[in-house]
């Protein structure tokens, strides 16, 4: 199987935008050649509470799920979920000042973008086990 170019961004939770502190809570992966747009999300509530004890984890989970729904073209995602894959990825990674934000877009090569989403979640989001 050949390797194809893919793009990805980390979904960050910024519970208090004015402080600028964040924690990684998901990844978005887009591979045009494989017609793939996927996401993985994981909210570490202990780390969230360390940044902001007053944060609402359920509201943040809903916001993360909304991004995942746009990736999956879930009918609940509305008009954004009906756009072409590339347009959805660009919309999800556009800068915004909300609690859930996408980091910068990076590129790489992959044979399997779905497996790449799993790998990036483990590398960039899940707690490091030591």
19-70 residue pLDDT tens: 989 999 999 999 999 999 999 999 999 999 999 999 999 999 999 999 999 9
Average pLDDT value for residue range 84-97: 92
**Domain chopping of the chain, boundaries:** 4-124
CA torsion sign, 48 to 49 to 53 to 56?
Answer: positive
The pLDDT value recorded for residue 60 is 96
Average pLDDT over the chain reads 94
Average pLDDT value for residue range 104-117: 97
Which residues, other chains included, contact 83 with Cβ-Cβ below 8 Å and sequence gap of 6+? 91
The pLDDT value recorded for residue 21 is 93
């Amino acid at each position: 199987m050949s390797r194809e170019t893919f793009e990805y961004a980390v979904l960050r939770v910024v519970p208090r935008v004015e402080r600028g502190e964040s924690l990684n809570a998901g990844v978005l992966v887009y591979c045009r050649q494989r017609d793939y747009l996927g996401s993985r999300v994981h909210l570490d509530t202990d780390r969230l509470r360390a940044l902001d004890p007053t944060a609402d984890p359920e509201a943040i989970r809903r916001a993360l799920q909304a991004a995942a729904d746009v990736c999956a073209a879930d009918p609940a995602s509305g008009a954004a979920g009906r756009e072409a894959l590339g347009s959805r990825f660009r919309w999800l990674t556009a800068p915004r000042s909300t609690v859930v934000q996408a980091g910068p877009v990076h590129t790489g090569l992959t044979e399997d973008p779905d497996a790449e989403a799993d790998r990036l979640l483990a590398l960039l989001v899940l707690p490091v086990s030591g």
